[in-house]
Structure formats: structure tokens, C-alpha cells
Amino acid sequence: MSSRYNPVRALLLFVGGLLARAGLAERERIARATDLSWPRIVTGLARMSKSTADVAMVGLAIGPTAIAGVGFASPFWGLAFALGGGVAGGTIGMVSQRFGADAREELGLTVTTSAAVVLAITLPVTAAYWLYPGFLVELVGSGDAAVGYGERYLKVVSIGVPFAALNLVGSRTLVGADDAYAPMLVRGGGAVVNVVFNATLIFGLGMGVVGAAVGTVVANVLVTAAFAVGLARGGLPGVEFPVQIPLSRPFLDASLARDLASMGTPLVGTNLARTGAQFPRLFIVGLFGPTVVSAYVVALRVRMLLDTPNWGLSLASSSLVGQALGEDDEREATEWARTVLRLGIGVYVLVAAALTPFSRQISRLFVDDPAVIGLVTVFVAVACASVVFRGVDGGATGPLRASGDTRWPLYSQLAGMYLFALPVAYVGVLVPRIGLFALYASLLVETAVPAAITYYRFDSGTWRVVSRAYRPDAALDD
């Protein structure tokens, strides 16, 4: 896809143009943020479309019970992204600052240290999933058939957990070095391979949920191999990487590992707060029966697909803000943060407004039972509305991640999920006559509360002060 002509880039420039005419952003900043954002958004669309297609294929091939089973197993798979994404979130902040300061040796050590940490964290998770898939799925699932589907899916997909986490480190490294195009090609290509494998295994060979899991594992292994070769060689055939990681020792640095732990631990906690809440929430939703679970799972997948602008915009903000902070230019960092935040909010409002009226048509892509379509339609419409708040949250989290001020995104997720979303959902169990309405409300507060808290922290400006402890000169002084 050309970097000049594509619908994602056109949408970003359209919204950015409206902001520029309103005096809320500079066109030059919009153009640079767009160029860095759109490849990541395309990557997100490809990968989330793959994930959504998995659910659709399983639903059409087997039925709503299989969707529920995959839904029960999905939070466990999501832990790979929670753990890997948290470490990678620290990586992008450190890489972008060192890239901005041209500290290439520290940059390489940051990447190899991040990879080692990710493996140390995820390999025990893989072992647990492989050895005890049935026990784990039964903790959150209900219904023998649905739990059985979830158990088979989780056992196979466990093999891909460390590879999925390593992919995030590789991708964030390149984005932090001002290149989102190469990760788009690598991870987007992996998503295409995944869809092809899944279609063949699910429909062609009749492997059902196991086929979906096998396709996911194969695609993640291939993507990890591509990142490893590309970073070691400085690129792949036809694709140049902005950084090359030397294969000579050392591969670990204690000082950088401490900074990575300090920045990454709150982000891991943030991701775990969001992913971990899926377990009790699915348990609560499971009390309403497999039909409601399947509708809920579809709504979550649709919302994740609509949330793909944050794949580019939030990370672009981290990269641009981090580079400015690496050059000790706090005013420039603030301008980048505000520009990308406003761009993101505009994009999310436009996307939600455009797709909400088509909620019923979207629902038909997952289920064909007339008795279920109505329920799925309402859940999808609520998911479309709730995703607008993710635009605020992602835009505010980007500069916090770049600066190292990563505790407040954790606080926001804990508050949104555990103080609001879960209690509201459980009210639906205690008061059956408002059961479904409580589930709809939980989807809304889950995104609205974190957005309010994270924006408050961003608007305070404290993140600029926090960043001074993580800049390259500070690391060298240690």
C-alpha cells in the first residue's frame, strides 16, 4: 500500500485538516504524525480483522457455543499481549529517547534486554497453559461444550504466547525509531498468513477451534523470525530497518534493565488490569448463558477492531514526544502530545458515528440465527459508542508512556475495571430485570473512567518533570 494514497492516511489527513482550519493543530505536525501513525493503524486493522475473522469463522462453522468457548480462552491469550505489551511500552519510551539523542549503543542494549525480560515472563505462562488448560478455562467458563472448546483452543495457542510478546518488542522498537512502515509489513503480513491458515484449517480440514489456534501460532512464529532477522541484519529484502542490533555481547545491561522495569512494570500492571478483569467479567456474563456470552464476545472483538487507531496514534505520540524529550525540548514534546491527542479524538468520533448505524449488518457477519442477531446488534452498537473514550485514553497515555510517567494509566485501568465496570455488570446479576442494561453500562464506564483519569494526569503536565529521570543523560549519570 502506498504511503501517499490509502484510505487510512486520507482519513487522518481529513480529520487533521478540520483541526487545522479550526486552529487546533498545525498541518505540518498533522502530516508527520499521520505518516508515523497510518502504518501502525493498518497493522492493527489487519491483526484485529484477523482476530475478528477467527471468531466469525468459528461462529459460522460451529455456532455461538464455539464463540463462547473461544471467548473464555481469549483472556488467557490476551495475557501474552498484556505482559509483552507492558515491557514493549517501556521499550518504546526508552528507544525513542535514545534514538532522538543518537545513543545507538544504549538503544541496542535496550532491545536485547527487553527481549530477555519478555521471555523470562512468558515462558512460565506457556507452561501453565499447556499443562492445565481445562482447569484454567473452567475458572471463568460455564457449560461443558463451551468449556471444552476453550480448553482445546488454549492448549494449542499456548505455544504462541512468547512469540506474540516478542513481536510487540520488535514492533515497538521500530516505531520508537520513527519507522512504523516496516512493522506494518511484517505484522500485517503475519495477519494475512493467519487468516489464510485459519480458513484452510477451519473450513477446509474441519479442525474447528484447534485450526484457529494452529493458524495463530504459525503466524506469530513467522513474524518473530522476521523481526529477529531484520533487526540483526538491519532490514529484510526490500525493507530497511532504522536500527540494527549488534550480535556481539553484552546483551543485558543492569542500569537499562532497572529503567525498563521502572517504566514497564506499571504498563504491565495496566495491561493486566484490563486483561485480568476479563476473567471475572466473563464469569459474570456467563451467568446469563452462552448466547449472551457469544454476543458479548462479538461486541468486544468489534470494539478492539474499532480501537485500532490507537495502534498508530498513541504509539506515534510516544515516539514523537519521546524524541523531543530526548532532545530536552519539553515545549516541543507538549505540542506533539496535544496534536496527536486532538487528532485521535476526532478520528474516534468520526469512526463511531459512521459505523454505529450499521450495527445489525456487522452482527450478521458473526451469527445467522435470527433469535440471536438482535441481541448481538445492541451489544455492537454500545461497543461502537464506548470506543470514543478510548481515543481520549490512548491520546493521553502516549505522552505518559514516552516520559516514563506510567503509573497513572495503571490507576485509571484499575478504577475503570474494578471500581466501576465489574460492579455495574454484577448489578445485572443481582437485579435480573436490568441485567442486560447493566452489561451495556459496564461497557461504557469501562472506557469512560480511564479516559477521564488519564487525561487529568496528562493535562497536569507532571509527566514532563517525570521524564527528566529517564532521559539518556540521566542513564549515563547513573
The angle, 0 to 180 degrees and rounded to 10, between the axes of the packed helices 161-176 and 181-199 is: 150
Domains in the chain: how many in total? 1
Domain span holding position 437: 7-477
Q: Sorting pLDDT into bands at 50, 70 and 90, what band is 105?
A: low
Domain contains 320: yes
Kindly report, residue by residue over 442-463, the tens digit of the pLDDT.
Answer: 999 999 999 999 999 999 999 9
Residue for cell digits 516478542? 166
Q: How many CB atoms lie within 10 A of CB 144?
A: 10
Q: CB of 314 within 8 A of CB of 344?
A: yes
Phi, psi of 239 (to 5 degrees): -135, 115
Arithmetic mean of pLDDT over the chain: 84
* In a domain? residue 397: yes
Q: How distant, in Å, are the alpha carbons of 47, 71, 188 from that of 185?
A: 12, 28, 5
Instruction: Determine, yes or no, domain membership for 180.
Output: yes
Residues 202-227 have a mean pLDDT of 87
State CA 255 to chain mean position distance: 28
Q: Do residues 325 and 100 touch, judged by C-beta distance below 8 A?
A: yes
What is the pLDDT at residue 1?
Answer: 43
Q: Is residue 139 situated within a structural domain?
A: yes
2 falls within a domain: no
For residue 93, is it within any domain?
yes
Q: How far is CA 165 from the centre of its chain?
A: 11
> How far apart are the C-alpha atoms of 363 and 361, rounded to whole Å?
5
d(CA 63, CA 208): 11
- Residue-wise pLDDT for 277-327, tens only, equals 777 888 898 888 888 888 888 888 889 889 989 888 988 898 899 888 888
Helix (H) or strand (E) holding 289: none
Is residue 125's pLDDT more than 70? yes
In a domain, 1, yes or no: no
Q: What is the pLDDT of residue 207?
A: 82
E strand or H helix at 234:
none
Q: How confident is the model at residue 5 (pLDDT cuts 50, 70, 90)?
A: low
Burial of 373 (0-12, 13-18, 19+ CB in 10 A): middle
Mean pLDDT value across residues 61-76: 80
Residue 387 lies in a domain: yes
